[in-house]
Amino acid sequence: MCSVRDLTTTTMAGYKLTYFDFRGRADLIRLLFVSAGIEFEDIRISLDEWPALKLKTPCGRLPILEFGGTTLSESRAIARYVAKETNQYGKDNIEQARVDMITDVADDLMMGIMKAYWQKNQSDQDEMMKTHFQQESLKTLALLETFLVENNGGDGFFVGDKLTMADIYLFVVTEPFLAKNPSCFKDTPKLAALRQRVQEVPQIAEWLPNRPERFSAIM
């Protein structure tokens, strides 16, 4: 576990990604680095460390990415930046717009979990999780399958002919679904196969079993 750092002293080249010790809003960014074979510092702070660090972050929230004297905030802005830098964002504006569109639709899966997760009342949380995992999310998965099939039948990737942020995000946001509802892909076989292809990207396959984290099954 790292200690709280003074953000103003960050001048070295190299990427430092700071988040809490779970997947949440940081795992897409982590996996973008991993799949591109780019080294980064995967800093995971405890909740006790957070109040002191919060005051020094641009938006008072995590994740943040620091590199070469710059500090970026907002997970999606960071993910887009890393995807661009590592050529995982499509080759032109149209491809990039489709990557954004698909990533934003996939984000509904993540938002549903977050919304339920922060419910104070346990029975509200359970009910919202159940509805999300067993009903609403299945519509989103069906929509994503349609987008995938539109790209040359759906046996490759979401956009163009190589892995992009959209494919990696599908992997990330569906991890909790498989944990909660193992048959969630039963009506979306192409999506299931794409998820498997992402999981088999050599760098990702190597990273997954060695993730340094506390796994909570949904975050």
Ligand X SMILES: N[C@@H](CCC(=O)N[C@@H](CS)C(=O)NCC(=O)O)C(=O)O
Residues that bind ligand X (CB under 6 A): 24-25, 54, 61-62, 74-76
Query: In three state form, how does the secondary structure of 102-158 look?
Result: HHHHHHHHHHHHHHHHCCCCHHHHHHHHHHHHHHHHHHHHHHHHHHHHHCHHHCCCC
Cβ at position 207, least distance to ligand X in Å: 21
Q: Are 112 and 137 in contact (CB under 8 A)?
A: yes
Cβ at position 54, least distance to ligand X in Å: 6
Alpha-carbon gap, residue 91 to 96, rounded angstroms: 7
Cβ at position 141, least distance to ligand X in Å: 22
Q: Which is nearer to ligand X, 62 or 109 (CB)?
A: 62
Cβ at position 9, least distance to ligand X in Å: 21
| DSSP percent split of the chain into helix, strand, coil, nearest 5 | 55, 10, 35
Q: Which is nearer to ligand X, 24 or 90 (CB)?
A: 24
The helix/strand/coil state of 66 is strand
Q: Which is nearer to ligand X, 80 or 98 (CB)?
A: 80
The helix/strand/coil state of 25 is coil
Question: Tokens 């999981």 label which residue?
Answer: 199
Q: Which is nearer to ligand X, 39 or 118 (CB)?
A: 118
DSSP assignment letter at 40:
E
Cβ at position 80, least distance to ligand X in Å: 11
